[in-house]
Structure 1
Amino acid sequence: MDGAERFERRATASARPKLKKFLLRYYPPGIILEYELAGELMQRSVDLLDLSADTDADVLVNAITRQESMIKESHREPLRKLVKKLQSKLRAVSTKSFSLVKELRAHILPLTNCAFNKSGDKFITGSYDRTCKVFDTDTGEEIHTLEGHKNVVYAIAFNNPYGDKIITGSFDKTCKLWDANTGECYYTLRGHASEIVCLGFNPQSTVIATGSMDNTAKLWDVETGTEVCTLAGHTAEIVSLCFNTSGDTIVTGGFDHDARVWDARTGRCVRALEGHGAEVSSTVFNYAGDRVVSASIDRTCRLWDVGGGRTEFVWRGHSDEVLDACFDASGARVASASADATARVYQVSSGELAHVLEGHDGEISKVAFNPQGTRVMTASSDKTCKIWDSATGLCAQTLEGHTDEIFSCAFNYEGSYVITGSKDNTCRIWKA
């Protein structure tokens, strides 16, 4: 063996990943491997999307061990305990009702959207009064008012899971990037020719996406605030966008009746998802990133296979426009919300309709699963939010008190808090 070969073997050996510790992810279930490679600390997730309380933990540990070469015999028992901990979390289904903690009258005009940070200790609200406000969830105290936009602050988001940055998209055609801790504005992102109506961070918090009524979406570098590329191809307004979990792909929905899948690294359109007969109102990836659900004014939802660009299911049944749709955390179910005052829950594997959620007296504009997937929340123009049992389809609770239609609602990461934002200029905090 010559010197060069010996050096190559030593280099290869030193580049082998070394497992440092396990981390848990509850929603959706998964175990994160933190490991060292060439002196750098890195992470890789083992997704357990099909985990249930009845899963055989030993069989699962065997499968994970075969799949991950970093996991040695000595790791098996700690790994088994973590699987059991995840299963215990799945069994701990809370049936507590939500109680009103605080009503916040911080805006002088109607709210547009609200959102939690990852830990749930803070949330933000956007408003027609041209501001975004940051609140402490436990106390309801206003922490910051983010001022500077010259028109409606319509779309807002934290850079979860980090939660140290906020973006606001406005009808003034700009997006602003803020420090969530100090309220300082880092950058104003200019370039769109019309109102910004949707936005988001990639999961790595390195890229911002903005969607506009100018028929384009743009990607921006978080570090510098500069435009990376323009996603051009839609022939009408873009009203929805969503990154996949790995952050390398983004889906957009437009009033041209289409959804489009883009390579977020190059801005190239990878696939046009065509089939809706009217405007697309909502588009979102499942956690695995292999499927997209789209909602449309044509009264249908569609489930798409991203890789093949084909429709797996067309969900018909709503008698009016479908305004929103979402997956549960594991991607096993889809919920849709409609102007017909009902929501629907579907099984992704079979395409079967599981439940029709009936009880609202006005259109439902927002729908969301709690992180555990045991509850569905709907926000309606009838001035109420309803919490539904996702297993039975029965209404578990009605959140009442707003005096005008509710535009936005959200669960925190633990599912222990809910925020509701209304046209009555108020936001309400509810705690289970």
Structure 2
Amino acid sequence: MKLNKFYIRYYPPGIVFEYQKQRRTKQKILDLFDIEKETDVEALAARIAVDEPLITPGVQPQLVALLRKLRNKSSSDHCGDRHDVTGSPSFRLDRTLSGGHSLPITNVCADKYGDICATGSYDRTCRIWNARTGAENLTLAGHENAVYSVSLAVTGRALTGSFDKTARIWSLDGGGECLCTMSGHSAEVVAVDVCAPRQVVATSSMDRTTRLFSAATGKSLASNPKAGSTRPWLND
């Protein structure tokens, strides 16, 4: 393997390695979810170099520089300016949903009635909660990487998009069975949406495409290679 280049992925934090193997260009992503203001980037670079054969002594200083940029960006994102909200509507904390996920939450959504909510997480699960009581109803497990996007747009169903390059439809009746897995993206799925009347699911990905799938069968219906990794919108 020969390293061509590597660059920062600011959110979620990580480093992308582009390398050559058997005359083919490939990518490898190193997730750095825990990088923070106090992170020792020199020590982190040394640990990465031990485990990653693409990092040679000659490129390690560049890795340190990238990690420093990533650390500074991550810390600034968590220390935003406080704004004066005088005159704005007041809000109060109703309840906290806790004790479920073992890693940071990536996304949250509620159903249209406000009865349940779904959370996605880097722990590779989606959890369904009773929004009235705060109790956990279901754990939807099966994705092989972080669950990054969640939707409760269809009653009785949950839709998830994952860094494992797939999206899934789950039944919320009974034990949370996976009804359908939608594959076809070559990189992380970052957004999912659904048009219930047409039984069509839309996904977008870091591979810079959007795709349409049958919600009934999971079969790929169409793709748009020029869409970029933006959120898909579906009209009824």
Same fold (TM over 0.5): yes
The alignment status of 1:344 with 2:168, answered yes or no, reads: yes
Corresponding position of 2:230: 407
- TM-score after normalising by structure 2: 0.61
Q: Is the 8 A contact 1:344 1:356 kept in 2?
A: yes
Corresponding position of 1:356: 181
The alignment status of 1:279 with 2:137, answered yes or no, reads: no
Q: 5+ unaligned residues in a row in structure 2: which ranges?
A: 1-75
Q: 2-side partners of 1:302 and 1:372: how far apart?
A: 25
* TM-aligned CA distance change 1:301 to 1:219, over 3 Å: farther
Corresponding position of 1:295: 120
Q: Is the 8 A contact 2:189 2:203 kept in 1?
A: yes
Q: 1-side partners of 2:195 and 2:223: how far apart?
A: 15
Aligned ranges 1:82-97 → 2 under 5 Å: none
- TM-score after normalising by structure 1: 0.34
* TM-aligned CA distance change 1:367 to 1:219, over 3 Å: farther
Deviations 1:39-84 (A, max 9, x none): xxxxxxxxxxxxxxxxxxxxxxxxxxxxxxxxxxxxxxxxxxxxxx
- Find 1:331's aligned residue among 155, 168, 189: 155
- Find 2:146's aligned residue among 304, 316, 321: 321
In structure 2, what residue type is equivalent to 1:289? Answer: G
Q: Is the 8 A contact 1:327 1:369 kept in 2?
A: no
* TM-aligned CA distance change 1:400 to 1:293, over 3 Å: same
What is the CA-CA distance between 1:333 and the residue it aligns to?
A: 1.0
| Structure with bigger gyration radius | 1
The alignment status of 1:397 with 2:225, answered yes or no, reads: no
**Structure 1 residue matching 2:96: 3-state secondary structure:** strand
Q: Is the 8 A contact 1:218 1:227 kept in 2?
A: no
Q: 2-side partners of 1:217 and 1:323: how far apart?
A: 27
RMSD: 2.7
Tell me which of the two structures has the higher relative contact order, counting C-alpha pairs closer than 8 angstroms and 6 or more residues apart: 1
In structure 1, what residue type is equivalent to 2:107? Answer: S
Deviations 1:158-192 (A, max 9, x none): xxxxxxxxxxxxxxxxxxxxxxxxxxxxxxxxxxx
- Find 1:382's aligned residue among 197, 207, 212: 207
**Structure 1 residue matching 2:137: 3-state secondary structure:** strand
* TM-aligned CA distance change 1:216 to 1:394, over 3 Å: farther
Q: 2-side partners of 1:336 and 1:284: how far apart?
A: 11
**Structure 1 residue matching 2:108: 3-state secondary structure:** strand
* TM-aligned CA distance change 1:345 to 1:216, over 3 Å: farther
Corresponding position of 1:226: 87
What is the CA-CA distance between 1:368 and the residue it aligns to?
A: 0.6
Q: 1-side partners of 2:170 and 2:96: how far apart?
A: 25
Q: Is the 8 A contact 1:387 1:398 kept in 2?
A: yes
Q: 1-side partners of 2:128 and 2:229: how far apart?
A: 27
> How many equivalent pairs are there?
161
Q: 2-side partners of 1:216 and 1:283: how far apart?
A: 24
Q: 2-side partners of 1:270 and 1:218: how far apart?
A: 24
The alignment status of 1:370 with 2:195, answered yes or no, reads: yes
Q: 1-side partners of 2:82 and 2:212: how far apart?
A: 34
Q: 1-side partners of 2:132 and 2:217: how far apart?
A: 33
**Structure 2 residue matching 1:396: 3-state secondary structure:** strand
Q: Is the 8 A contact 1:295 1:301 kept in 2?
A: yes
In structure 2, what residue type is equivalent to 1:337? Answer: G
Q: Is the 8 A contact 2:145 2:162 kept in 1?
A: yes
* TM-aligned CA distance change 1:281 to 1:215, over 3 Å: farther
Q: 1-side partners of 2:80 and 2:181: how far apart?
A: 34
Corresponding position of 1:163: none
Q: 2-side partners of 1:290 and 1:215: how far apart?
A: 32
Corresponding position of 2:68: none
Corresponding position of 1:19: none
Q: State the identity %.
A: 23
